[in-house]
Structure 1
Amino acid sequence: MHLMINRNHLFAFAIIIFVATQGVLISQFLFLGESTGDSEGTPIAQLFWAAVSVLQLTIGGMFFAKHFQSVKSRGKEVNCNVKRLVAWGLALVAFCLISTIWSVNGEVTLRRTYSLGANLLFGISVFAVLGRERWIQSVFFACAIPVIASLLFYVLGADWARMENAYVGAARGVYAQKNVLGMYAWVALLFTIYMRRSGSISFRFAFLAVASSALSITFSQSITAMLSSVVALLSYFLVLTVSRMSAPIRVVTVLVAAMFGLAIVLITITGGGIDSILGRDVTLTGRTEIWSYLQRAIADRPILGYGFAAFWRTDEYASFYVSRLFGYAVSHSHNGFLDLALDLGLLYASLICGAIILALGSVVRALLLLRLDGVDAVFIALFLGLLLTSLSEPVFLIHNSFVTILFWVSFAYVFNLKGRYSR
């Protein structure tokens, strides 16, 4: 695969980079205040991010029209990955929108559902137009370039490139906070390895991207990113290796890998979170106390939840307690599954968990039955890495966030692997 980029691709890359970095760098120069994708910031910030959503809707609509027109003109069917992505995107946005009815803060739910819908439409349309290989290129640039810039600003001593509240001095670069930098750094590391192995980038550029990604993970002090990078890279090379094994050895290898993954999940759950594996504070800087409180909050509204994105924006439920515990504002539970249950209730959270379990089953069956290539390995590794990340950070439904796009694109891809071995 050769690296060939036209103007449309460059435009898509630019928008993706902007969404991925949440506009933090631009915000520094526009003096938007707390505007890192947060619609609850200053009036200027709200207007700014509303314009971003309009831009995503416009570009997403144009890309979709171009994709379906191209498919129709060639007399072909729409790619099944795109079909599944569209179906999942519509289902996610529809339920978030319906939750406005019972939301404890309907205005926030409605506004953030609009942003989420625009975000998903843009992400899905870019994947549809670019295809899987060029989409990998776009993600590589969207992650590698800001990560390199983040390391540069951090080394040069820019105050805004460092954390100021918790973990003072940890690198956050051009992202909202350190864990976000760490997450995009391991994604950049994974995609850089694929790009170099496929011959799409030079050794020097690959070395720069790998070094910047590894250093960014280290300077961010994000244990979540460290563990996710290990899991993603091991998964990537496992997929490439297992396809060349004989059937009996392949079964044993996949079984051992599955047990290893299950052990990490169990340790994470029983130990209180990913950080506890490596000996962090027993309360994970207060996270376990928050999780205990959130379990009681979920029990108060178990079926339908508090409405999409509403729980953390309603003072009587969360803000006061969390601010006392942490000493600064927190906008999520540091667990993607808890956030799902809070936002949309156990009913919808269980449906998403069931779909994720089916996707994991699809991965296992594909490893046992198919000969997978490098592209397959990237999507599987991305899906598993983000799934692990979700145990400590929000991933599934974040408005104006590239990580939500990454997760659902990779989910749809691995879920559809079952279509290849069922033919």
Structure 2
Amino acid sequence: LSLGIFAVSPHLARMPSDDQMRGIFIHKNSLGWYASLMVLLATAVLFDSTLGLRRTAFALLSAGVVCLVASGSMTAIIATISAYCLIGFYSILQRTPGMSRIVIVLLFVQMSVGLLILLHEFLVPFLEALGKDATLTGRVPLWELVDRQIADHLVLGFGYQAFWTEANPEAWVIWSKIQWMAPHAHNGFRDTMLSFGIIGMSLFVLILLRAVRQGAVLQCRDPQYGWLWLNVFTIMILVMNLTESIFFVQNDAIFILFTTAIIMFSLYAPVVSTRPGPPSRRSLCSTAAELQIR
């Protein structure tokens, strides 16, 4: 649809402030998010040869890539790159037996933490060297002001979606300093802290960690049901929330899909964990030897 409206009316499909594409959405970032999801969905269909929809998947994949690049949303592009890295990680994890999985997980966690540290230390100088916006389109000064508000209401926060409202004087303090009315903190984790404080954030983090663990268990023990894609989708949304705010957004399709994935993990992980696994090679040999003796 975004490509269609771009072909029919290009001026409506572009952002008013620049030439980047927004398609049928209000903002280019929204187009980038859904294009990223389209790329993941089309890749999943391409992987599944039983559906017989390879041509359709390839067409949707091409459309998703075009919209992703045309939107210029760096958040969506980074999330898409992360998704393909996660496809490789979960595929290796599923094929790795026994205790070797722990080593793979630890290596992946260390690499992720190291990458975040590198981005924190060198991203701004790197952007300045390239002549890009080192403030990430105003996000860095916004985050500094938001962190101060989080510290002032650390325990319980301001209440659900109570901060970014015109009735809140603390929001006006931030808006007056950054000279634009930010609709949110452009970081889902910070907005969660603003809404629910450290108590609510702690519960949310526990739910996320449990969902990631359950999803990995399902992928390793029951991969034939396509748990790979829900795992990749879940982590991809976490990556998106590093520079955008999607958590707990009302009537938002992406957050609904995200919570649905977490619910699916919680429903099926206990069933799979109690299911008896296939007999080991040693038990099969013992059974064969007993039969021969008899």
Same fold (TM over 0.5): yes
**Alpha-carbon distance in structure 2 between the residues aligned to 1:299 and 1:254:** 33
Aligned match of 2:285: none
**Alpha-carbon distance in structure 2 between the residues aligned to 1:392 and 1:244:** 33
**Alpha-carbon distance in structure 2 between the residues aligned to 1:309 and 1:333:** 11
How big is the shift at 1:413?
Answer: 2.7
Matched, 1:322 2:172: no
Is the 1:228–1:385 contact (alpha carbons within 8 Å) kept by the matching residues of 2? yes
How big is the shift at 1:300?
Answer: 2.1
**Alpha-carbon distance in structure 1 between the residues aligned to 2:243 and 2:173:** 22
Q: CA RMSD in A?
A: 2.9
How big is the shift at 1:156?
Answer: 4.3
Cα–Cα, structure 1 residues 282 and 417, in superposed 2: closer, same or farther, change >3 Å?
farther
Matched, 1:174 2:27: no
Q: How many residues align?
A: 270
Aligned match of 2:289: none
How big is the shift at 1:401?
Answer: 0.9
Aligned match of 1:299: 151
Is the 1:363–1:417 contact (alpha carbons within 8 Å) kept by the matching residues of 2? no
1:88-111, CA deviations, whole angstroms, 9 ceiling, x for partnerless residues? xxxxxxxxxxxxxxxxxxxxxxxx
**Structure 1 segments unaligned to the other structure (5+ residues):** 1-148
- Between 1 and 2, higher relative CO (CA 8 Å, sep ≥ 6) is seen in 1
Is the 1:175–1:181 contact (alpha carbons within 8 Å) kept by the matching residues of 2? yes
Cα–Cα, structure 1 residues 287 and 345, in superposed 2: closer, same or farther, change >3 Å?
same
Match of 1:226 among 67, 77, 100: 77
Matched, 1:208 2:59: yes
Q: Show the 5 A alignment for 1:24-173.
A: 149-165=1-17, 168-173=18-23
1:197-223, CA deviations, whole angstroms, 9 ceiling, x for partnerless residues? 324353332121101111111111111
**Alpha-carbon distance in structure 2 between the residues aligned to 1:340 and 1:201:** 42
Match of 1:191 among 41, 50, 70: 41
Match of 2:111 among 224, 244, 260: 260
Q: Show the 5 A alignment for 1:400-411.
A: 400-411=251-262
Match of 2:90 among 232, 239, 242: 239
**Alpha-carbon distance in structure 2 between the residues aligned to 1:268 and 1:194:** 29
1:24-63, CA deviations, whole angstroms, 9 ceiling, x for partnerless residues? xxxxxxxxxxxxxxxxxxxxxxxxxxxxxxxxxxxxxxxx
Cα–Cα, structure 1 residues 250 and 349, in superposed 2: closer, same or farther, change >3 Å?
closer
Aligned match of 1:380: 231
Is the 1:240–1:372 contact (alpha carbons within 8 Å) kept by the matching residues of 2? no
Match of 2:200 among 342, 345, 348: 348
**Structure 2 segments unaligned to the other structure (5+ residues):** 276-294
Matched, 1:358 2:210: yes
Letter in 1 for 2:22: R
**Alpha-carbon distance in structure 1 between the residues aligned to 2:51 and 2:172:** 47
Structure 2 length normalisation: TM-score?
A: 0.80
**Alpha-carbon distance in structure 1 between the residues aligned to 2:102 and 2:139:** 38
Aligned match of 1:394: 245
**SS of equivalent to 1:281:** coil
How big is the shift at 1:175?
Answer: 1.7
**Alpha-carbon distance in structure 2 between the residues aligned to 1:184 and 1:404:** 12
Is the 2:45–2:53 contact (alpha carbons within 8 Å) kept by the matching residues of 1? no
Aligned match of 2:184: 332
1:66-108, CA deviations, whole angstroms, 9 ceiling, x for partnerless residues? xxxxxxxxxxxxxxxxxxxxxxxxxxxxxxxxxxxxxxxxxxx
Is the 2:189–2:242 contact (alpha carbons within 8 Å) kept by the matching residues of 1? yes
Bigger Cα displacement from structure 2, 264-273 vs 214-223: 264-273
1:236-284, CA deviations, whole angstroms, 9 ceiling, x for partnerless residues? 34334442344465444443333333334444556689x97x9652221
1:275-323, CA deviations, whole angstroms, 9 ceiling, x for partnerless residues? 97x9652221221111111111112222222221121113522246336
Letter in 1 for 2:84: L
**Alpha-carbon distance in structure 2 between the residues aligned to 1:175 and 1:158:** 13
Is the 1:323–1:330 contact (alpha carbons within 8 Å) kept by the matching residues of 2? no
Cα–Cα, structure 1 residues 399 and 371, in superposed 2: closer, same or farther, change >3 Å?
closer
